[in-house]
Amino acid sequence: MAATDIAIVGWAQTPSVERSTRTEPQLCMEANLAAIAKAGIDRHDIGFTCAGSCDYLTGGPFAFVANLDAAGAWPPIAESHVEMDGAWALYEAWVRIQHGDIDLALVFGSGKSSPSNPLELYPQQLDPYYLEPLGLDPLSIGAIQARALLDAGKATEADFAAAAARSLRDAMSNPNAQASGDHDPADLLKADYVCAPLRAHDVAPVSDGAAAIILATADRARALTDSPVFIRGIDHRIEVHQPGMRDLTSSPSTTAAAKKAGLNGSQIDVAELCALFTSQEVILRDALGLGASTTINPSGGPLGANPVMATGLVRIIEAAQRVADGTAGRALAHVTNGQGLQHNLVCILEGDR
């Protein structure tokens, strides 16, 4: 059975900030209510709700339970949750709508990282027997990956700085961005390393924030809006966990997911890539075969705003926004999960035919 076209008809994100004074359910509530309002639907018409978050960010078991207060779960709702970025909640909802018995779904992703220290936290995301005892943090893995890329001759530190300068400049026009600025790449290269060969500009900030999307069947979408954004394909693939067993300079799971999602060499006008390090942008461009005709991360990407567990959903929102406003005819959103691009999702968006 071929997948049915599903459309994005509403979306919203909170501003990404270093430390929000609001609770995670409050952040989710803001995003959910705004997405529902933008879609112009009654929340009681939503047939399935799916959320993505991670208990460890706030440091409490069952932290995700409180977010249910932002899902409008009374009367009770059909609802599920993934311990992953909200983009995978979108995938689960996209699968659920395929059954044909519901026509609207709410998906949201949220993360409040400010209560924890990411460098202490993330070693616990690694294999507890062989890697966690090494205390390997995401910055170190990112640096190992960047070093591998440099050693392979696939990129230079100047390439990284150019990506950072472009992203931070684009983020200046993104009202939700946490980091932005107009920098000369040559100046950026004068900064000290934070973890060689990475400098501060190469590393995404860590943000508090939430994002939400309303999905609709094609018929419902056309009744709701003149500019539905259709998900033409979506797929995701995971790779082995051990960084030493992967070629960190490539991302075969991204390539495989993109192929399955329908990326066939035709023009992609805008790509929102979940590059948490400038070096990952190089790897992802290569894995997706994106050339100079594709605008990369016009929102500024994760270097501007990185609400962990919603960063991926924000990529889909930013790509959808540009299809809806006519900037892009065809857009691609990429999302990653785990360290060193272990798990990748690709989603291809287009306007109505």
Sites of contact with other proteins (CB under 8 A):
1-3, 54-56, 59-62, 64-66, 68-69, 71, 73-84, 88, 91-92, 95-96, 98-101, 121-122, 124-129, 131-132, 235-242, 245, 253, 256, 337-339, 342-343
d(CA 151, CA 161): 17
Shortest Cβ 29–other proteins spacing (Å): 12
Shortest Cβ 308–other proteins spacing (Å): 12
Shortest Cβ 265–other proteins spacing (Å): 22
Shortest Cβ 17–other proteins spacing (Å): 23
Contact 208, 27 (CB under 8 A): yes
Closest to other proteins by CB, 285 vs 343, is 343
Contact 323, 268 (CB under 8 A): no
Of 317, 323, 299, which is closest to residue 34 (Cα–Cα)? 317
3-state secondary structure of 174: coil
Shortest Cβ 101–other proteins spacing (Å): 7
Closest to other proteins by CB, 197 vs 340, is 340
Closest to other proteins by CB, 80 vs 327, is 80
Closest to other proteins by CB, 48 vs 160, is 48
d(CA 119, CA 292): 35
Closest to other proteins by CB, 68 vs 162, is 68
Residue 5 is classified by DSSP as P
Closest to other proteins by CB, 11 vs 91, is 91
Contact 349, 333 (CB under 8 A): yes
Residue with tokens 């600025």: 181
Shortest Cβ 105–other proteins spacing (Å): 12
Residue partners of 149: CB distance under 8 A and separation at least 6: 155, 248, 249, 279, 282, 283
Q: What are phi and psi of 316, to 5 degrees?
A: -65, -40
Residue with tokens 């067993």: 245
Closest to other proteins by CB, 62 vs 293, is 62
Burial class (CB in 10 A: 0-12, 13-18, 19+), 260: middle
Shortest Cβ 255–other proteins spacing (Å): 11
CA-derived radius of gyration, the chain:
19
